[in-house]
């Protein structure tokens, strides 16, 4: 998803005319709308098992973490993306988080026997956001042409988008269980994208677009199958 919006960065000239400013703002809004979905899925899955009173707090804290990371990474995103293994390791972490969140939302914990604590949810959101925010920040920074005011606009706009989307998703997940699996599959796809677009993988194997999409699809389905297999494993009986 991130590499689709990244291409818009190349179409923006220096911001000298009202039209160029309008186009920069348009691209930033579009990027925020598209990229807010990844963070919203993580937050919605992470807070779904919390008690209702803690859920909104989890959404607010998770969204705050996502935006704070964007602010902190704004000035170093390009340098981080140039380091080998950064996106590769991040993609593996996203896959692990996708499986864990699916297990938490469809296993015994989802039935209320052992709800995750608020800080456990925030910790998972933090780990996921660290791995996903670099590309997001780079896209907004590119679209803003490093204009500080436009970067602040992009970061500020992402706050209500993430809060609204994650709150809506968490409510829909309560009603429609299938959305939980779709959300985990989306995270699996994001993890596959990060792995296949890592600098080391890209420069070593030069994967074609069809191969990248194939890996994304396989991992999107794979996280669901792995979680289902883990749930159905034989449970060890406690010793008498």
* pLDDT tens per residue across span 154-197: 777 877 888 888 888 888 888 888 989 998 998 899 889 889 98
pLDDT score of 69? 77
pLDDT score of 135? 66
Summarize pLDDT for 17-66 with one digit per residue, the tens. 777 777 778 877 877 776 677 778 888 888 888 888 788 888 888 888 87
pLDDT score of 218? 97
Closest C-alpha among 118, 131, 104, 132 to residue 45: 104
What sign results for the dihedral spanned by CA atoms 148, 150, 154, 159?
A: positive
Residue 114: which pLDDT band, with cuts at 50, 70 and 90? very low
The residue with tokens 């919605």 is 44
User: C-alpha dihedral over 124, 182, 218, 228, to 10 degrees?
Assistant: 80
Closest C-alpha among 181, 226, 81, 51 to residue 141: 81
pLDDT score of 131? 73
CB atoms within 10 A of CB 44: 27
Residue 3: which pLDDT band, with cuts at 50, 70 and 90? very low
Whether the full predicted model's pTM is greater than 0.75, yes or no, is no
Residue 70: which pLDDT band, with cuts at 50, 70 and 90? confident
Is 187 in a helix, a strand, or coil? helix
- Cβ neighbours for 129, distance < 8 A, ≥ 6 positions apart: 39, 42, 62, 65, 66, 69
pLDDT score of 216? 94
pLDDT score of 86? 78
Q: Is the pLDDT of residue 236 over 60?
A: no
Q: Is the pLDDT of residue 235 over 60?
A: yes
């Amino acid at each position: 998803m991130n590499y689709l919006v990244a291409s818009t960065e190349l179409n923006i000239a220096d911001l000298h005319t009202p039209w160029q400013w309008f186009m920069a703002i348009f691209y930033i809004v579009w990027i925020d709308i598209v990229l807010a979905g990844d963070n919203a899925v993580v937050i919605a899955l992470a807070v779904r098992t919390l008690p209702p009173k803690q859920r909104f707090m989890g959404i607010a804290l998770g969204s705050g973490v996502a935006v704070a990371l964007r602010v902190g990474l704004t000035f170093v995103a390009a340098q981080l993306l140039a380091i080998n293994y950064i996106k590769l390791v991040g993609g593996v972490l996203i896959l692990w988080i996708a499986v864990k969140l699916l297990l938490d939302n469809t296993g015994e914990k989802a039935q209320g026997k052992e709800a995750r604590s608020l800080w456990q949810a925030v910790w998972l959101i933090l780990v996921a956001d660290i791995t996903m925010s670099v590309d997001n920040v780079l896209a907004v920074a590119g679209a803003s042409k490093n204009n500080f005011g436009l970067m602040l606009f992009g970061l500020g706009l992402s706050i209500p988008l993430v809060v609204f989307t994650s709150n809506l998703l968490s409510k829909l997940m309560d009603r429609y269980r299938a959305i939980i699996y779709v959300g985990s599959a989306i995270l699996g796809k994001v993890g596959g994208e990060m792995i296949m677009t890592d600098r080391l993988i890209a420069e070593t194997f030069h994967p074609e677009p069809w191969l990248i999409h194939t890996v994304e699809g396989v991992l999107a389905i794979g996280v669901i199958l792995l979680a289902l297999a883990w749930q159905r494993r034989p449970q060890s009986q406690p010793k008498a």
